[in-house]
Chains A and B, each alone.
Chain A
Amino acid sequence: MNGVHDMGGIHGFGPVEPEPNEPVFHAAWEGRVLAMQRAMTYTGAWNIDMSRAAQEMLPAPVYLAASYYQRWALAMEQNLLGKGLVSADELAAGHALTPAKPVKRTLTAADVSPALTRGQYARPATAPARFRLGDRVRARNIHPPTHTRLPRYVRGHGGVVERIQGCHVFPDTVVTGAGENPQWLYTVVFDGRELWGEGSDPSVKVSVEAFEPYLEPA
């Protein structure tokens, strides 16, 4: 979806402000949110793509005003409600009011290591790769109203296939319930001037990780 989360190239957000001696968490609840997200993902209730999609569907003003962990918490509430794992009454009461819905598994203190490692997203190829290293390709000018990982700033622009990353779970179909639908994944590099015009810095090159359905021959 063309949401405010798709920030590449937007003007007006001001300078980057590094924080000296930044703590790992700025408040205790941030750590709880991060850990809860990891533990809930482990139950199989939702995956990383659904978590991102839930954040993107927050109302734009909410998304922009929220901190990173606030967004996580708000998106997690939406996923919990959407999957029927908790009710709005329960969140308001701060206590369970109805029996739990079965989940595949729960993370225990005896072994939290699965929650500390990223999931595996590579899948066996179901078809040969359409593009080769060095091929000139164009990012398709598509505007799906649902979750996608093709940023707006590259759509319609031409680039070169620089790396082939194998076949990966396709986020666009995971979130619509159409399954993993593995797709070839490419690193496609664009000249800065192709993206940002003649007056832009000629020394800049930008790459994105693009799934095959995002690309067409140039």
Chain B
Amino acid sequence: MQLRVRAMETVLAEKGYIDPAALDLIIEAFETRIGPHNGARVVAKAWADPAFKQCLLDDASKAIAEFGLVSRVGDHLIAVENTPQRHNMIVCTLCSCYPWEVLGLPPVWYKSAPYRSRAVLDPRGVLADFGITLPAETEIRVWDSTAETRFMVVPMRPAGTEGWSEERLAELVTRDSMIGTGLPKRPDGGTS
């Protein structure tokens, strides 16, 4: 594949369709600046600031743009909140749509057939693959990203974090907890 991709890039560059130096910068951005640390800061701020949380749930694209966390967030980003009554999970059964601006590039498992096929049919079974068991009465809400709307989960704030700074709280927010296949870290360093 490496040779085939190199051949394609050479042809495109020689024909002037692309600038390889621009490709380098795109790759660098995804390797360094665009990642789940951005989403973690959004969630931590939502945990610490109820007014921000409300703005985030009302219009995540606008709230995050005004917060100035990420260079620019695309339109139609939707934040959905986990509660004791409802646990949210994000999937894209048709391809692999994912909120890149706040979570970075999706992990391989998110793009895989096992996840795309089972998340809508057997979400509790998928959660079990991640070592997560939720109470039987908790509603499991799966959001299939079939259009250009994008979703992120706001997980529940772990107990025992009262008075924590946003920076400290952000360290508890895992990527998977914002997809809905995980829970935040516990304040003692363990997983919930």
Question: What's the Cα separation between A90 and B128 when bound, in Å?
Answer: 48
Question: What's the Cα separation between A7 and B121 when bound, in Å?
Answer: 10
Task: Give chain A residues whose Cβ lies under 8 Å from the Cβ of B120.
Answer: 8-9, 153, 195, 206
Contact A201 B122 (CB under 8 A): yes
Q: Check if A198 is an interface residue, CB within 8 A of chain B.
A: no
Q: Which of B22, B112, B117, B140 contacts A204 (CB 8 A)?
A: B140
CB-nearest residue of chain B relative to A163? Answer: B78
* Contact-size category for A: 35 or more
- The main secondary structure of chain B at its interface with chain A is mixed
Contact A8 B31 (CB under 8 A): no
* Contact-size category for B: 35 or more
* Given A13-B114, A31-B27, 7 new contacts (CB under 8 A): A24-B30, A40-B17, A95-B14, A100-B17, A103-B17, A106-B18, A168-B147
- Which A positions have Cβ atoms within 8 angstroms of B? 5-11, 13-19, 22, 24-29, 31-36, 38-40, 43, 45, 48, 52, 55, 64, 67-68, 70, 73, 76-77, 80, 85-86, 90-96, 99-101, 103, 106-109, 112-113, 115-122, 149-151, 153, 163, 165-166, 168-169, 171, 185, 187, 189, 195-196, 201, 203-211
**Which 8 pairs, one residue from A and one from B, show the smallest C-beta to C-beta distance?**
A118-B74, A8-B93, A94-B7, A209-B147, A35-B23, A96-B14, A109-B21, A100-B15
- Which B positions have Cβ atoms within 8 angstroms of A? 1-2, 4-12, 14-19, 21-27, 29-31, 34-35, 71-76, 78, 91, 93-96, 100-101, 104-105, 107-109, 111-124, 126, 129-130, 136-150, 176, 181
